[in-house]
Amino acid sequence: MYFLTFPGSFDLQLTALKGAAASTRGLSAYNLLLISILQIIIIGPISNIIPTLGEEIGWRGYLLPKLRMLLTHRAALVITGIIWDIWHIPVIVMGHNYGTDYMGYPWLGILAMIVFCVVLGVIEGYISIKF
């Protein structure tokens, strides 16, 4: 989706990686890319399990069941997603999620995160309700 939105950033020549590889000894850009992909696959899940598990316990394990007692299932799912977005607004404004150099900063980033959190929150919430 990123490269469809910003096709000018798509670089099949791996210019940035070649620049990074030039500062290493003996690593080609393709080897650096392979190492990066392996780090994402192996280390990413391990390093992210604590913060993501904490969020999931909070949003789907605590908040969603409490809201379901007060609201319809659909409303609870959507409101959980909106609250999940509100939780992330400070880091969006700091530029963590989308950077700061895009048109409509930070409001379009907040809007994008609302869409993301509501859609993903409904999917994850539905799964947690069914299981």
| pLDDT recorded at residue 23 | 84
| pLDDT recorded at residue 29 | 86
Q: What distance in Å separates the CA atoms of residue 2 and residue 66, rounded to the nearest whole number? A: 36
Q: What distance in Å separates the CA atoms of residue 14 and residue 21, rounded to the nearest whole number? A: 10
Q: What distance in Å separates the CA atoms of residue 35 and residue 63, rounded to the nearest whole number? A: 39
| pLDDT recorded at residue 9 | 85
Q: Burial of 80 by CB count in 10 Å (0-12 exposed, 13-18 middle, 19+ buried)?
A: buried
| pLDDT recorded at residue 20 | 84
pLDDT tens series, the chain, 131 aa: 778 888 888 888 888 888 888 888 788 888 888 999 999 999 999 999 988 898 899 999 999 999 999 999 999 999 999 999 999 999 999 999 889 998 999 999 999 999 999 999 999 999 999 98
